[in-house]
Amino acid sequence: MVRDQGIPTLPEVGQNANEANTFVLEFPVKAPQGSIFKNDLSAIEQLEYWKTVKLNFTEHNPSATISVGEEEWVAVVAWISENWDIIGGLSFLPRESHVYRLAPYEAIDKKTYEALMKRFPQIDYSKLVIYERTDETEQAKELACAGGTCEIV
């Protein structure tokens, strides 16, 4: 639906546009005033923040993409080794000069943001009914398991 309305889409890495079954959408996003950016924190500071969230605020593995500077890789490997028993949900990308296509939250300058917003289309959600022809809320039933018991949903 959003692709048909002009939202920029790219096929997932490893898929071509003609045969893709997964697309990545591009939305220009303005960071709120006072935001902390990935380049404001070292890789270890990012990992320690993730660890705080993991240990104090969740019961699962919160996901995070850690931006690692060229000089930080050895320290990151040591941190991973020291915290191996709690590791899960982490991915790592080079902070500078990475070539990862479709990287999350790519930084853009104000001029680029304003140009993208100027041509970004309004989404008409009333058209959703044209695309959603079946009830997608009643997908496959799954078992919800916790604490040695499973609830049949």
Question: For the residues 61-90, what does the mean pLDDT come to?
Answer: 96
C-alpha to C-alpha distances, 105 to 16, 38, 67, nearest whole angstrom: 22, 10, 11
- Tokens representing 46 are 């990012």
| All residues at 6 or more sequence positions from 56 whose CB lies less than 8 Å from its CB, including other chains | none
| Nearest residue to 102 via CA among 23, 41, 35 | 23
C-alpha to C-alpha distances, 95 to 17, 47, 101, nearest whole angstrom: 28, 14, 14
- If one counts every other C-beta atom within 10 angstroms of the C-beta of residue 56, the result is 7
Question: For the residues 20-49, what does the mean pLDDT come to?
Answer: 94
Q: What pLDDT, on the 0 to 100 scale, is given for residue 10? A: 92
- Tokens representing 85 are 């028993």
- The residue among 6 and 146 whose pLDDT is bigger is 6
Q: What pLDDT, on the 0 to 100 scale, is given for residue 132? A: 82
Quote the pTM value. Answer: 0.68
Q: Mean pLDDT of all residues in the chain? A: 89
DSSP 14-79: T--TTT-S-EEE----PPPTT---GGGS-HHHHHHHHHHHHHHH-SS---EEEEE-GGGHHHHHHH
Label residue 76 by pLDDT band (50, 70, 90): very high
Q: What pLDDT, on the 0 to 100 scale, is given for residue 96? A: 84
Question: For the residues 78-86, what does the mean pLDDT come to?
Answer: 98
- Chain-centre distance for alpha carbon 36: 17
CB 25 within 8 A of CB 9: yes
Q: Is the per-residue pLDDT at 143 higher than 60?
A: no
Domain boundaries, the chain: 34-107
Least confident of 46-60, 93-107, 114-128, 137-151: 137-151
For residue 125, what is the DSSP state?
G
